[in-house]
Amino acid sequence: MIQNIQEFHSQLADKKITVSELVSQYLKNIENKNKDLNIYLEVFDDALTIAKQYDAELENKSIEEILKERPLFGVPVAVKDNILIKGKIASASSKILENYVATYDATAIIKLRNAGAIFLGRVNMDEFAMGGSTENSAYGVTKNPLNEEYVAGGSSGGSAAAISADMALISLGSDTGGSIRQPAAYNGVFGLKPTYGSISRHGLMAMASSFDVIGPFAKDIQDVKKVFEIMKGQDELDSTTHIEVEPLTKDKIKVGVPNEFIFTDGVSEEVKESIKDTVEKLKANGVEVVDISIPLLKEALALYYILVPAEVSSNMARYDGVRYGNAVSTSNGIEDYLQTRGQLLGAEVKRRIILGTYILSAGYHDAYYKKAIILRDKLTKDIQEKFKDIDVILTPTTPDTAFKIGEKVTDPLTLYLADIFTVTANLVGMPAISVPYKNEQGERGTENNMPLGLQFMANTDDENVLFSIAKMV
């Protein structure tokens, strides 16, 4: 299969392939693999029609002319099931939105379509993006294409698995606390969580509004960069977006490693070795690597699981069978409401609603929520202070490789710990990327032959530094 956008467009120029042929290859892969992997919830029936229209354009124009206006011309894209595409179902992998048809396009979708992308279909996820394994989907778990006994990660498990399984060239996910980076690590692909506010959230179903961001998956770092640059920018429909910042160029990159946070109990020896090996690679490339200390990092996970459920409980209030979603009819209105949310929302969603409601209740708002807000601000300031001396922070993406399906279903607290390295970027709003780790032999370096991810975090709007450092490892 074609591995990146540049290769595809080169083959188009040399007439070695057509857009229809590439789309057909992906559709064939989906047909052959999806029954076992459960990645796609729906394949769009207009993808091949659009591909044929694009091929007709190439009869009258050169690919070089077209790419000046549409840099993603003909690129097949998979879309997470919580990003709206007009006229298509967007269920957030929940029974309550099983029949919801989007009435408008997300801004990110508009930008990609205008750039020439072709949307293949919507892919599986944890219900309303709540989870880290895609086991919380109302439509069944997505299996890891590298080993079907293992999870694909979450909540964007379908998006990451679609790339790993050659069922799309690019995919879109959303990241609230690691939901792009963690599945990227588990599937051995690149996954970018951009700066908060750099990409419009208009048309992304909200989980935790001050954390959520849309980002891309790909097998090639240049593809990640290209898709990010197309999607970014201020949007009048999302007041949290900001004007594009001129990317910084740095002659030398200085990397900080919070060793006291990484080399501790609960982090596998394989993960620790991957960090040691990466530090040596960076030094060999002339990168200065220093030890840093950020004491509040160890509190980040606790802060995240106070603040996010609080926002979840507010955002989920609209799904009541009256304003949005399917409804369960009973003998009276109150019972309708209770049964609708009781029967049509999954266990993890209900768990976070209850936790968030408790945190925001009169007796506990000051004790938990307000204190967490104060500490979030302090963590942000501490990290911004560190970026005065360094350019990038290196950590593992996850404490271990992917786990087996069903292994942690009954232990949500252990599952939450998988986010220990990723939540900080969302709390602070800074960009972060997961890069597949390979040892000197080009192998994953793990006993079960499952991938590991390296996470690089940079200062806000400093994605270009992430793209540069990703090429070095």
What is the DSSP pairing of strand 40-43 with strand 118-123?
Answer: antiparallel
For residue 322, how many other CB atoms are within 10 A of its CB?
A: 12
| The length of the chain, given as a count of residues | 473
Q: Is 179 an annotated catalytic residue?
A: yes
Q: Give me the sign of the Cα torsion angle 289, 294, 295, 296.
A: negative
Residue 129 identity (one-letter amino acid) = A
Q: Pick the catalytic residue from 33, 80, 219, 232.
A: 80
**What DSSP string describes 295-349?**
GGGGGHHHHHHHHHHHHHHHHGGG-SSSSSS-----SSHHHHHHHHHHHHS-HHH
At a CB cut-off of 8 Å and minimum separation 6, what does 53 contact?
A: none
Which of 159, 179, 313, 434 is the catalytic position? 179
Catalytic choice (94, 155, 156, 159): 155
**Residue (of 462, 388, 445, 397) closest to 189 by Cα position:** 397
- Angle, to 10 degrees, between the axis of helix 347-360 and the axis of helix 300-315? 100
Is 471 among the catalytic positions?
no
For residue 462, the one-letter residue type is: D
**Rounded-to-integer distance, Cα 283 and Cα 290, Å:** 10
Closest of 221, 231, 193, 227 to residue 3, by C-alpha:
221
Label residue 310 exposed, middle or buried (CB < 10 Å: 0-12, 13-18, 19+): buried
Joined tokens for residue 278: 């990466």
Active site (catalytic) residues: 80, 155, 179
